[in-house]
Chain A
Amino acid sequence: MHGMVNRALQGFLTTTYGPDVWAEVRGQAGLPFADFEAMLDYPDALTLACFEAACHVLHKPPNALLEDIGTWLVTDPHLEPLRRLMRFSGAGFVDFLHSLEELGDRGRLAMPDLDLPQIALDRHDAATFTIRARWSLPGIGPILMGCLRAMADDYGALALLRLEGIEDGVECLRVQLLDTAFSTGRSFDLGRVGA
């Protein structure tokens, strides 16, 4: 798995729970080094071992931890550049949902070797969508749920999200949009200079 993904897992654990928890996770997972590097590749087994160790150390069910990671990706102040890149996808939350199918291409524009999930969006009516996501590792459904919940908040939209199970490795997520202008959301200045 790409170092960015591993680095995200490590970053989530250290910023949310502190370096001691990361050290314990690292020890339990038998990681042969102290830190993941964002620009290197690692065997999937290491990623999975770290994640399992994290669930064990934190006494958290896997889906809850994955959802927290998704939320953290959008809301952590250190990851503001990532939030900005996500906001480039659409002027509003609905635009953003529609652009999710472009996520893979968008990710490859930024990092050609980054393997991002394949996402398909089904629109049932103006306010109801189903998202189907497939990734090389299991768990993309709850990650996306945490991420989308935070993005809805970012855009000032009010939405209900629910995991709809897994079919043939495709993880499904239902989005019920209640209000697209529920709050002012967070600001996004397209032309931030000096970035």
Chain B
Amino acid sequence: MIGLPPSLDRVIGLSGGALDVLMPMHLWADPEGRVVQAGPTLTKMARRGDLTGLSIFRLLEIRRPLRVDHVPGLIALAGQRLGLVLRDAPDLPLRGALTALPAGTGLILDISLGLSFARAVSEFGLTLNDFSPCDQTVELLYLHEANTATMALSRHLSHRLETARAAAEAQALSDPLTGLANRRAMDAAIARCLDDPTQEIGLLHLDLDLFKQVNDSLGHAAGDAVLERVGSILRQQLRHDDLAARVGGDEFLILLRDCTARDGMEPLAARLIATIEEPIPFQDGMCRVSASIGLVASVDYPHRPGIDRLLADADAALYAAKRAGRGRWSAHIPPPRGPGRRAGDAARVTPGD
């Protein structure tokens, strides 16, 4: 042996029981590598009963920093971080550190669970009492479980928020692009008006002309600019009590409350068409569209019409306006009440033009 003998006043004697308390996963081996004593937790993990006398190299495989299978090679690794496994559990990496005992009397190797601690605790059936109070493995397990639980809560929250957002969207009453009402809001507003027997309404069904050409030649951004512009025209031209909705790609419905005569609707329809026909600036150029309008008034009906009837008649009037050429309005006029044969519904289309 080369070197100084250890100074005797720095040497202490520890009983095997003391080692068990301080390092429940230790191995104490003699110079031939046979187990003198194994800590209780390591004994439990090895599942071979009393390990005394067994070769540590039959029990363990030292893998890092290099593979060794003899005591001098192992002692040369004293103080280094060791990677090792139990031969009976080769897929559960463990960590270790060893120190040589004085005067070549053997070695003590202390072991801990590696990052696979959760699996190791389960596979070896370990309990709280198997760990030294100084070993934080149990806290790691706690943290691991706490993380799992809080992650689940976060996922639930995200899922519920997503569901709520979808529900809110489905219940929304406005069209996000134009800020006008949407179909659902319009249907509800018409139904409320028709439920009130004192309320007479007018309905305009407006469809843009040439919108497809703008979309095709200048792109969807230009189309969106046109729709936004039409939205703002409708807001400006209507009274506070009226309601405009975008009910399709380039289709709009306008509800006029307290509309006691169809006569008042016709100038509004003509004004809307004229305003929409004004060129709409987009980037460096101008977009040009027009509009066709079908209109109906509840006062024209001998019997209070239902919402489906009104909408269908407004649609038929719009179709008549389209057929008559772009940029026109058309009014649907139901047949008057009376005896005799049914004359069939009439239509009044934009005069002149």
Contacts and interface: CB of A to CB of B under 8 A. Distances in A.
A68 to B, nearest CB: 23
B157 A39 contact: yes
Contact of B126 (A37, A111, A191, A193): A191
A190 B146 contact: no
Contacts of A82: 149
Nearest to A110: B146
Nearest to B157: A39
Interface string A17-50: 0000000000000000000011110000000000
Contact of B150 (A40, A110, A189): A110
Task: Give the most central of A91, A109, A110, A191: most B CB within 10 Å.
Answer: A191
Interface range on chain A: under 10, 10 to 19, 20 to 34, or 35 or more? 20 to 34
A190 B148 CA distance: 15
A138 interface: no
Interface string B154-196: 1011001000000000000000000000000000000000000
A82 B141 CA distance: 14
A154 to B, nearest CB: 14
Nearest to B130: A190
Contact of A91 (B122, B127, B143, B156): B127
B216 interface: no
B15 interface: no
A191 B143 contact: no
A191 B128 contact: no
B125 A191 contact: yes
Interface in A79-132: 81-82, 84-85, 88, 90-91, 106, 109-111
Nearest to A39: B157
Contact of B153 (A39, A90, A195): A39
Contact of B122 (A40, A106, A191): A191
Contact of B129 (A40, A88, A91, A195): A91
Contacts of A193: 118-119, 122
A186 interface: no
B264 to A, nearest CB: 44
Interface residues of B, number: 29
Nearest to A112: B150
A38 B153 contact: yes
Contacts of B301: none
Given A110-B143, A190-B126, A37 B157 contact: yes
A142 to B, nearest CB: 25
Interface in B20-42: none
Given A39-B153, A88-B138, A109 B146 contact: yes
A190 B145 contact: no
B141 to A, nearest CB: 7
Interface of B is mostly: helix
A192 interface: yes
A97 to B, nearest CB: 15
Interface in B184-228: none
B128 A90 contact: yes
B112 to A, nearest CB: 15
Interface in B97-148: 118-129, 138-139, 141-148
Contacts of A38: 153, 156-157
A12 B139 CA distance: 28
A190 B143 contact: no
Contact of B121 (A84, A109, A111, A191): A191
B150 A111 contact: yes
B145 A195 contact: yes
Contacts of B146: 85, 109-111
Contacts of A39: 153-154, 157
A77 B154 CA distance: 20
Given A191-B122, A191-B125, A191-B126, A88 B149 contact: no
30 contacts: A38-B156, A38-B157, A39-B153, A39-B154, A81-B149, A84-B145, A85-B146, A85-B149, A88-B128, A88-B138, A88-B142, A91-B127, A91-B129, A106-B142, A109-B142, A109-B143, A110-B142, A110-B143, A110-B146, A110-B150, A111-B146, A111-B150, A190-B121, A190-B126, A190-B128, A191-B118, A191-B120, A191-B125, A191-B126, A193-B119
A-B pairs with the 8 shortest C-beta distances? A191-B122, A110-B146, A191-B121, A91-B128, A88-B142, A193-B122, A81-B149, A39-B157
Given A81-B148, A90-B128, A191-B141, 13 more contacts: A37-B157, A38-B157, A85-B149, A88-B128, A88-B138, A109-B139, A110-B143, A110-B149, A190-B126, A190-B127, A191-B122, A191-B123, A193-B118
